Structure 1
Amino acid sequence: MRYVGIGELARQAGMRASALRYYESLGLLPAARREGGRRLWPAATLRRIALIRMSQRAGFTLAEIRRLLDSDTGQGATRQWRALAERKLPELDRVVQQTQQLREAVAACLACGCMNFTDCELLAGAPAAET
């Protein structure tokens, strides 16, 4: 089994070594082997990091990811992932809806054309700033 140091693992993963130490402290990564004061991980740890980062991009919290990784025992992991994903979809749908509303608000501001906060009709109902 090939082991890599924290710097090499960080470089290959495209992240900082401090993030790897943080993941290790949370139990997302297995404890590194120590050799001469250096942290060393199996090269296969890169795949686990990729799963963590993909899960973060999908909106999963680090606590949720840890539960998933803790259940990494074949079929149990598949069921756990499915359950987490099914609970996450409605949350992601809400984020998409909120983002769409924000987009529409920005588009309305651009369409207004006034580009002057004092005269903007979109802000007509808003209280005036105190001077």
Structure 2
Amino acid sequence: MRIGELARRSGLAASRIRFYEASGLIAAQRQANGYRVYPEQALQILGVIACAQQAGFSLEEIRRLLPDPVAQSWPHDELLAALRRKVAEIETLQARLAQNREHLLAIIAGIEDKPEGMLCSVNAERMLAGLQEPGPILS
């Protein structure tokens, strides 16, 4: 199929497809007139690339996980290991984000519940000083 059809079927811009081709992630045959012709498998590979990028894989990581173009087989063990690593990275990020969320909620509470009679500027200084200290801010 030509690049226009591949772009339409994949939902990607032709420029993005050319970028992936230039990056070695997909391959096309060149016709005598210079047109690119992509195999049907290119549509599947583009889907994998898009999904993997959304999951946080870099293009270099994706390159290592795509099927061998000669053998046309997926690197099963590498694929599973990479997916497990990415899940672990996501879990670590989720834990960090949960800590950040709690930290920000504590700051909000400290700003909203400033001590009676304390000026906003003094309360802001108190909260900013708390940002530099580890642990809860509600001191």
TM-score, length basis structure 1: 0.72
Range with bigger deviation, 64-73 or 105-114: 105-114
- 1:53 corresponds in structure 2 to 50
- 1:78 corresponds in structure 2 to 76
Instruction: Show the 5 A alignment for 1:1-131.
Output: 3=1, 5-34=2-31, 36-71=33-68, 73=71, 77-111=75-109, 112-113=111-112, 118=121, 119-120=123-124, 121-125=126-130
Q: Judging changes above 3 Å, is the alpha-carbon distance between structure 1 residues 36 and 102 closer, same or farther for their aligned structure 2 residues?
A: farther
**Sequence identity of aligned pairs in percent?**
36
Over aligned residues, Cα RMSD in angstroms?
3.0
> What are the superposed Cα offsets for residues 31-69 of structure 1, whole Å, 9 maximum, x if unpaired?
343352322212331111111111112222211111111
| Amino acid of the structure 1 residue aligned with 2:90 | L
Cα displacement (A) at 1:86: 2.6
Note if contact 1:71-1:80 (Cα within 8 Å) is conserved in structure 2. Answer: no
Higher-strand-fraction structure: 1
| Amino acid of the structure 2 residue aligned with 1:122 | M
| Amino acid of the structure 1 residue aligned with 2:41 | A
CA distance in 2, matches of 1:39, 1:74: 20
| Amino acid of the structure 2 residue aligned with 1:9 | L
Structure 2 unaligned blocks of 5 or more: 114-119, 133-139
> Where in structure 1 do 4 or more consecutive aligned residues deviate above 6 Å?
none
For the residue of structure 1 that corresponds to 2:38, the secondary structure is strand
TM-score, length basis structure 2: 0.68
| Amino acid of the structure 2 residue aligned with 1:113 | E
CA distance in 2, matches of 1:78, 1:105: 41
Aligned length, in residue pairs: 123
Of structures 1 and 2, the larger Rg is shown by: 2
